[in-house]
Structure formats: structure tokens, C-alpha cells
Amino acid sequence: MLENDLKFLEESFKQYYFDHFDLIHVPERSQEREYGYKKFNSGMIRHISLKTDKDLHLMLMTNLPSDVFCSNGYYSFPNLPMAEKDWKEADLIFDIDAKDLNLSCRKDHTCMKCSSCAEISSMHDTCPKCKSNKLDLISLPCQNCISGVKKEILNLMKILTDDLQIDSESIRTTFSGNEGFHVYVSNSSYNQLGSNERRDLIDYIKFQSAIPERFGFNKKNNPSRSSFPDLGDPGWSGRVAKELFGSKSKRSKVITKVIADGKVAYQQKLEAMKDSIGVKIDSNVTSDIHRIFRLEGSLNSKSSLVKLVCEDIEKFNPYTEACLIDDQPVEISANSPIKFRLKNTNFGPYTDEKISVPKYAATYMICKGLASVSNA
């Protein structure tokens, strides 16, 4: 990152933290958690212990971090190396990102930046300027992306409350500050699960490893009509029945066809149900009991948007509610082939243009690698 851009982002982030201390708090059981931070153009600093909001605010103003993190795990000694921390338990956290949904709109708001010459262009196999194939993809997610993630979250919430019997009061949803959302489960019996047990839970939520023997066929390949699931069954069985039959009146006819098509075809049909029954969570995130997650109220250096709690996920609009950098005019050189919308204002596309935009749009584009502060 250029020196002028680095200084601009550091000052912009510092001003945000000064203006919005009311949004930034140490979470419950703070003394048992590990904290960490990154600075622009540098690596992670972690194994930090913080006890109060005052300690956290001092760390923010002293170090000018690009990103701030807090562990999902609880430890006896959070400031010691990992092997010596003495793990107790960890919040159960799910990460759902727009990039993992394979939405058709993604190609319309993704461009590429050449790692060799920094040329920005629409999608090609190689850089149109220097022909390098070292390309970084840059995406500016749209409202359709956010809607897709919200749909996954609502499906996840239903599984957590209906199937796993988790109290809705123990579930909290936050916008990650970039392309997705995090769903937290705290104060539940699932918090004691280790990584292996969490992987079993992941299989259940993603509808992985489903086999015909679980849903009607037996090992001898001699299915009984009564062994197929009913629409009123709990858990996987009920969801498979709803997806397979559609309605109770169609159940008998569909079962006849499933039996006639055979076990292999049924296995393929079950595999295809992952997209409709399973939730597209990031398995690595949920299984990691030592992970440090972006702190609520902090800025995401990939976008300059805030990681924010969503009180009403269906109404939440991250491009207004989580866009909290001020609107002071800033002169930038912008090269963004993608248009985007922040705070109900449209921006772009820009082709190597010197323009004046509100600071929140300038920080967003600079964080995405699509603009630089203009030289005086």
C-alpha cells in the first residue's frame, strides 16, 4: 500500500474509533479471552489480555490497528502461548460469506488487479497490460449477495432453534464488515464441544454424508415404503421429505419413482439436496476452537465497514448501517470498473479519474485497492 494511502487510512480509522467508542466493548468474560490486532502493511499481533473497555480503547488509540480480533475460546491464561493457555470452552460461531454462494451476480461486480503491474480491468485470463497471470480478484458485493447470505442465515437459525434446541436468546448475528455475516452461539451446552464434535455438527448443518439407508433404502437394497420420511418428521427426515415430496399427497407417487430409479439415483438426489437443505457455512471457521474473530464495533480493513450486530437481520442494510466513516470530501484517483452503492448514494464506475467523494467512499475504494489519495 502507498504511504499516502496508509496514512490516510490510519487517520480515518483512528477518527472512527475516537468518534464511536460507544460501539466498541470488550465482550462478556473478557478476562478469559485472547485479543489480537493487525496494523496496515504488517502481520498479526495476538496473545493479548484485556479486561475493560478502557484497556481496549487505549489499545485502539495507541496502535492504530487495521483490524481488531477477539477469541471465541475461553482460557485460564489467555495471554500465554497457545499450548499454555488452558482452553475451557469456545463460543460456537458460523461464518457465511457471499463468495461461497456461487451467485450468478458475482461476475457482474468482480474485477481483477494484476499483482505484477497493478493494472485494474474486467475479468480476463491474463493481465491485458503485461500478460501476467498473477491476478487478484476484487469483488464489491451487491444487495443480491447480501440477500443470499440472509437466506442462508435464516435457514441456519431454524436448524439451531428447531433441531438443536438452542434458545434464540443465545444466538447473535453480526455483519462481518465485508462479504458476509457471523452467527454466534454462546451460553449453550454446545460451547463445550471440541473440534471433532463440531465437525459432526457441521456435517448435520451442511447436510453432508447423507446416504439412502438413512432415508428409505436398507443395506439389502430392498426398500420399504413405510421407511421413507414423512413431512412432519423432525430434523433431516422432515426436511428431506418436504424437498422430495413437496406435499403429503405426492408422497406415495414419488416413493414409487424413487424405488424404481434405484439406490444410486436416490444417492444422487440426496447429494443434490445440499444446496436446498444444507446451509453454506465455512467449515474451517466453525471447527476452530482457538480462532480469533473480528471484534464487534471494529472496522474491517478489506472494506472500512463496521462489524455490527444485526437486531433485525431481514431489514439490516450493511451499506447504510455499517458505513460509519464520516462524509468529509476527499480527493482521490479512482480506477473502479464496478459501480457500488453506499449510504444510498451510487458511485462509479471510474476509469483513472481524479474525483472528490465522501471519506466513507474513499476509504472503501482504497481498502478494496481501487483508488489512491490524490497527491496535492
Please give the full DSSP string across 148-166, using - where no structure is assigned.
HHHHHHHHHHHIIIIIS--
Element of type H or E holding 366:
helix 359-368
Active-site annotation holds for 312 = no
> Is 326 an annotated catalytic residue?
no
Residues 6 or more apart in contact with residue 336 via CB below 8 angstroms: 111, 120, 140, 347, 348, 349, 350, 365, 368, 370, 371
Do the strands 135-139 and 308-309 form a parallel or antiparallel pair, or are they unpaired?
unpaired
Helix (H) or strand (E) holding 286: helix 283-287
Name the active-site residue from 5, 67, 91, 95: 95
Choose the catalytic residue: 5, 67, 91, 97: 97
Burial-class residue 349 by CB neighbours within 10 Å (0-12, 13-18, 19+). middle
| Spacing of C-alpha 223 from chain mean position | 41
Q: Work out the widest C-alpha separation in the chain, in whole angstroms.
A: 79
DSSP element (H, E) containing 87:
strand 87-90
Residue 298's Cβ-count burial label (10 Å; 0-12, 13-18, 19+) is: buried
- CA 145, 146, 151, 157 torsion: positive or negative? positive
Q: Cα 43–46–48 angle (5° rounding)?
A: 145
Task: Pick the catalytic residue from 86, 282, 326, 327.
Answer: 282
The DSSP output letter for 325 is S
* 282 in catalytic set: yes
- 46 DSSP assignment: E
Name the phi and psi angles at 294, rounded to 5: -55, 135
Neighbours of 256 (CB within 10 A): 11
Enumerate the active-site residues: 95, 97, 282
